Structure 1
Amino acid sequence: MTNLDGKIVASQEASLSVSNRGYAYGDAVFETLRVINGKIMFWEDHYFRLMASMRIMRMEIPSTFSPEFLEQEIKDLLETNEQLSSAARVRFSVHRKEGGFYRPNTNDVGYVITSEVLEDPFYIMKEDFYEVELFKDHYINSGLLSTVKTNNRAINVLGSIFAKENEYDNCLLLNENKSVVEALNGNLFLVTGKTIKTPPVNDGCIKGIVRGKIIEILKKLPEYTVVEESVSAFELQKADEMFITNVVMGIRPVSKYRKKEFKMEVAKELLTKLNVQARLS
């Protein structure tokens, strides 16, 4: 079942117009959520990021879009799909209503909510081999718009095809300044000694929810120094560890980049603390 503008309908009957602006122009934003036993992890952070994304895209935020209303919309769908007592992945998409070509006739919005079951209720550490490479065919533009989760994911799609064709598990994306920005599906962290580095948001990376939580955790650990600075490709092979974060998988350690193989000790430590935060959120 799918939630279309507040109405729960069978997924095979759910349809959008071919003139839908999310489809036609990528004029849509979305949040990917992880829900455990009916509890949306980091819901407040997701809600405020969604509101900020809509403002950046100059969408009209309906007066009904309170945290309580949207949370209930999600839970109603999960209950209908019999996923309220399990772990689920939810995608909450908001599109500008159709009309106009590049210049919209309205800033009013519609929304779509979908869900699917996840195997594990909390984050687990995957230790299997995981190799990454740079994707250099196209670049992310640094700046505010690149930090928003819009439907325009062409670079991520092309990067994933490149990875599959060349037997990599993931790729790292660059911006126009040739700085490493993020992975295809999450934020990037490098561990060198006791310093943990992640690209800054103004380099063009998604303002990830788990990225923010990891930074919060690290700032409370005196043995580590966390820095948000541009990452050059030359730094990648000097790191002791490399890991990727997103709200569905949590922390994904990278095993290898080119000739460099990485540890995963810090990633394991942080994953335990992240699970604690998820339970308390």
Structure 2
Amino acid sequence: MKTSNNWVIFDGNITPANRPVVPVVSRGLMYGDGIFETLRTYKGKTVLFEDHIARLHSGMCILGMKVDPELKIGAIKEQLRKLLKKQQLLSTDAIVRMQVWRDGQRGYHPQDKSDIHYSITASVCPDNFSTPTLATVDRRRVPSRSIPSSVKFTNGINYILAAQEAAERGGDDALMQTIDGFISETTIANIFWVKGNTIFTPDEECDLIPGITRNIVLEIIEKSNRWKYKEGKYYLDHLLDADAVWICNSVREVLAVETVNNQDFAVDHPVIGELQNRYTQFRRDNGNLLKRN
């Protein structure tokens, strides 16, 4: 079925994608004063949708934004269902992005009564994602003490510069490190690796975003009793000594990494294959249909 990407939700209404206009004085445009969430729908079903909305609301709270009724979970579900139907995306997988930003004047301190705006977009999700190559970069992950890493802020300059540097070094994505040189995450995903029978991943003290999919993967690993796993602080040489490496996020799910700094890893490693299968089963068991209220 042919799909359309010509429609968006803007402040609660479905509108042609080229119609909403953000004023030049918008703080979202001037300063990246906002929050976003990205997730995947599966033929009209969502997985842990409440967790995504809770994180969106948490970010708004950090920024001092009021959560209006239109941004409550029931209202967003109904808007998303209508958008997917309008975009002809209820019968296929889709990538959804929710964005919230604030109006206001120049200056870093926002006004107490600044208007809040939001948008929801949806596009076709590819059937498959290619295994990525990662490159370490000089750009470091912003410490959580400077910018909280528990939510996704609109201002992604740090990630943009890191991704540009990774591309210059032949990578599809940047492998981010903390200021102290510990592995943190990539610009778009959390990272894991396996050595022997032990799975490793950076802990939350490494300034990473504790992703919703990361939590699912950790839960799967813990319940399986098949592997040992350790969360901790690891330098690059620890990862480069791994048998296999993978990333995870809500769109790409569990995805093998092909190379890190031109060092090859096994993309068909049995641990990755089993985690992919178990994740698929998890989201099938926990998928919820977007129903009309």
User: Considering the TM-score relative to the shorter chain, is it more than 0.5?
Assistant: yes
Task: Write the distance in 2 (CA, Å) between the matches of 1:207 and 1:249.
Answer: 16
Match of 2:111 in 1: 105
For 1:125 and 1:194, the matched residues in 2 are separated by 26
Aligned counterpart in structure 2 of residue 132 of structure 1, from 118, 131, 134: 134
In the alignment, does 2:39 pair up with 1:33?
yes
Q: Which of the numbers 271, 279, 290 marks the counterpart of 1:274?
A: 279
Report percent identity of matched pairs: 29
Give distance in 1, aligned partners of 2:139 and 2:36: 26
* More divergent stretch after superposition (256-265 vs 209-218): 256-265
Give the secondary-structure state (helix, strand or coil) at the position aligned to 1:140. Answer: coil
Question: Within 2, Cα distance between the matches of 1:110 and 1:201?
Answer: 31
CA shift digits 1:193-224 (9 cap, x unpaired): 22212112232111211111101101101121
Contact 1:197 1:226 in 2 (8 A): yes
SS in 2 for 1:79: helix
Match of 2:15 among 9, 22, 26: 9
Greater shift, 206-215 or 137-146, is seen at 137-146
Tell me the residue number matched to 2:68: 62
Q: Which residue of 1 aligns with 2:217?
A: 214
Structure 1: which 5+ runs fail to align?
A: none
Q: 1:97·1:108 contact (CA, 8 Å) conserved in 2? A: yes
Q: 1:242-261 maps to which residues of 2 (within 5 A)?
A: 242-258=245-261, 260-261=263-264
| Count of aligned positions | 276
Judged with a 3 Å threshold, the aligned counterparts in structure 2 of structure 1 residues 235 and 95 are, in CA distance, closer, same or farther, namely same
Match of 1:166 in 2: 169
CA distance in 1 between counterparts of 2:115 and 2:228 reads 44
1:182 is aligned to 2:189: no
Letter of the aligned partner of 1:164 in structure 2?
A: A
RMSD over aligned CA atoms reads: 1.9
For residue 87 of structure 2, what is the aligned residue in structure 1? 81
CA contact (8 A) 1:195 1:224 kept: yes
In the alignment, is the contact (CA less than 8 A) between 1:125 and 1:271 conserved in 2?
no
Q: Contact 2:141–2:184 (CA<8 Å) still a contact in 1?
A: no
> Which whole-Å deviations, capped at 9, do the CAs of 1:21-40 have from their partners, x for residues lacking one?
12211111111010112112
Structure 2 counterpart SS, 1:147: coil
1-structure distance, mates of 2:281, 2:200: 22
How far, CA to CA, are the matches of 1:246 and 1:262 in structure 2?
20
Seen in structure 2, the aligned counterparts of structure 1 residues 69 and 259 have a Cα distance that, compared at 3 Å, is closer
Q: Which residue does the alignment assign to 1:95? A: 101
Q: Determine the C-alpha separation between the residues in 2 that align with 1:258 and 1:98.
A: 43
Query: What's the CA shift for 1:259?
Result: 6.0
Map of 2:243 onto structure 1? 240
Q: Specify which of 142, 146, 150 is matched with residue 149 of structure 2.
A: 146
Give unmatched runs, 5+ long, in structure 2. Answer: 1-6, 287-293
Q: Per-residue deviation at 1:108?
A: 5.1
1: CA distance between counterparts of 2:203 and 2:104? Answer: 34
* TM-score of the superposed pair, with normalisation by structure 2: 0.88
Q: Does the 8 Å CA contact 1:60/1:108 hold for their aligned counterparts?
A: no
| TM-score (structure 1 length as normaliser) | 0.91
